Amino acid sequence: MRSSDNLEFETLAVHAGEEADPETGALRLPLHMATTFKLPKFGGKLMSALLLETSRAPYAYTRWSNPTLRALEDRLTALEAPRGLADGTKVSAVVTASGMAAVSALVFTFLSQGDHIIVSEVCYAGSVELFGLHLPRFGIEVSLVDTSDPQQVRNALQPNTRLVYVETPANPILRISDIASLAGIAHAAGARLAVDSTWASPALQTPFTLGADFVIHSLTKYMNGHGDSLGGAVLGRENDMLKIRRDMLVHLGGAMSPFNAWLILRGLVTLPMRMKQHGDSAIKVAEYLESHPKVKRVFYPGLASHPHHELASRQMSGFGGMLTFQLKGGLGAAINMSEKIKIFSYATSLGHAHSLLFYYPADLYVDAASYLTKTQKHSIREWMGDGIIRASIGLENTDDLISDLDQSLRGNTLRGAVGPLVYKILKRKQG
């Protein structure tokens, strides 16, 4: 089933991009691990394959395209933009080896020396470091701003601004940015808007309907959902995606493995149900933590206490499975949690069936960031304090998760007692 046919999201998650195998009747798309394909005979089809004249050119080499990769791209397109853009423009997708490969493909296709980009000052560490540390080396001007404040974006505009890049919800502090407002600001200035929507997935947020020009995903996270494959995707107007495929996928080589594509296709089948369960559990966990005597502050878009709760309620159909919280006991309490948790795993990723948590000390993740100003560091610390626990709420029983958090918050360990002192000594030696 190649087209959306006005079907609902849950149906598209199962069927889009796949048909029963015509030869065997298999309901799952065969896994095509071939790197090389027999080319058409001399003529127009051969030239289309060799020159990548269209997004659906005949297959030539898996770095360019592959039946399994194309099926995943078709399904992602159906989930993000089943009817294209408001002006009728067709949307397509390019899948990549990782989320960072997707980000890199986007910026190196559409930005050149002398161009200017405005970026969320808080987003995935790999992204903000690419923007803050590396793009300036290539003569691309970068303005890092708090994109949850549209006025800061408006103030940062320059005549050479080509792209506004926003991550919402923002990793790791869960700021929410107004996609529709930022789209209007960018377009009025002749720039385009890219949205990293990884933390929401298309089950909860559809940036194209709000005016975005590009949507980015780390498919490793919620889209895959099983913690067993890396992948990324960038979606946008079909002619833009063809340019990315020709200029960056071919030349930089960040091609996805067909096996990973096949695994992510499998994961997408259950995306709607998984996102509902993640969100149902996360709000209960967030409400519990907000009342816990060992917890200082909780950030979750579904809580009325979240500074951007009203915007999240308008912009998202659900609040997702990610939350962060500050501990009254600081680093020592965070070490105790990491030692005491039994169901949660102490790990940095997200979007798995397993619940995960990780402590981000502000001095390492904020104070040490050379690309942030003192004012920006102070603003971020208002959300982080001296450090935050980032929790990815999985698919386990919610009461079991709450019980695990409670016993770990109340527990004490030797490492928790001496860890803060050891940390200071190690930092002093490194300094």
Interatomic CA distance for residues 301 and 305, integer angstroms:
8
Domain holding 89: CATH number?
3.40.640.10
Kindly state the helix (H) or strand (E) to which residue 67 belongs, with its residue range: helix 67-80
Kindly state the helix (H) or strand (E) to which residue 345 belongs, with its residue range: strand 345-346
Phi, psi at 206, each rounded to 5°: -125, 85
- Report the 10 Å Cβ neighbour count for 44: 9
Whether residue 3 is contained in a domain is answered as no
Which string of DSSP letters, residue by residue, matches 161-196? Answer: EEEEEEESSPTTT-----HHHHHHHHHHTT-EEEEE
In this structure, the answer to whether residues 234 and 334 fall within a common structural domain is no
**What is residue 1's predicted lDDT score, i.e. its pLDDT?**
54
Which of the listed residues 227, 244, 268 is the one where a domain comes to its end? 268
In this structure, the answer to whether residues 342 and 234 fall within a common structural domain is no
In this structure, the answer to whether residues 201 and 347 fall within a common structural domain is no
**What is residue 3's predicted lDDT score, i.e. its pLDDT?**
52
In this structure, the answer to whether residues 158 and 305 fall within a common structural domain is no
In this structure, the answer to whether residues 96 and 200 fall within a common structural domain is yes
pLDDT in tens, 119-167: 999 999 999 999 999 999 999 999 999 999 999 999 999 999 999 999 9
Whether residue 63 is contained in a domain is answered as yes
Whether residue 80 is contained in a domain is answered as yes
Q: State the helix-helix crossing angle for 398-410 and 330-340, rounded to 10 degrees.
A: 130
Domain holding 423: CATH number?
3.90.1150.10
Kindly state the helix (H) or strand (E) to which residue 214 belongs, with its residue range: strand 214-218
Whether residue 236 is contained in a domain is answered as yes
Which string of DSSP letters, residue by residue, matches 254-305? Answer: -PPPHHHHHHHHHHHTTHHHHHHHHHHHHHHHHHHHHT-TTEEEEE-TTSTT
Which of the listed residues 268, 292, 313 is the one where a domain comes to its end? 268
In this structure, the answer to whether residues 215 and 282 fall within a common structural domain is no
Whether residue 33 is contained in a domain is answered as yes
Strands across the sheet containing 91-96: 91-96, 232-237, 214-218, 192-196, 161-167, 116-120, 141-145
Whether residue 16 is contained in a domain is answered as yes
Which regions in the chain score pLDDT beneath 70? 1-5, 431
In this structure, the answer to whether residues 169 and 224 fall within a common structural domain is yes
In this structure, the answer to whether residues 264 and 185 fall within a common structural domain is yes
Which of the listed residues 221, 248, 268 is the one where a domain comes to its end? 268
Give yes or no for a contact between 105 and 111, defined as CB atoms under 8 angstroms apart: no
Whether residue 1 is contained in a domain is answered as no
pLDDT in tens, 242-259: 999 998 888 888 999 999
In this structure, the answer to whether residues 131 and 63 fall within a common structural domain is yes
- Report the 10 Å Cβ neighbour count for 188: 10
In this structure, the answer to whether residues 201 and 307 fall within a common structural domain is no
- What is the CB-side half-sphere exposure of residue 110 using CA atoms within 13 A? 29
In this structure, the answer to whether residues 263 and 335 fall within a common structural domain is no
Whether residue 165 is contained in a domain is answered as yes
pLDDT in tens, 388-405: 999 999 999 999 999 999
**What is residue 5's predicted lDDT score, i.e. its pLDDT?**
62
How many structural domains comprise the chain?
2
In this structure, the answer to whether residues 129 and 20 fall within a common structural domain is yes
Q: What is the pTM (predicted TM-score) of this model? A: 0.94
pLDDT in tens, 214-242: 999 999 999 999 999 999 999 999 999 99
**Domain residues for 193?**
9-268
**What is residue 30's predicted lDDT score, i.e. its pLDDT?**
87
Interatomic CA distance for residues 185 and 187, integer angstroms:
6
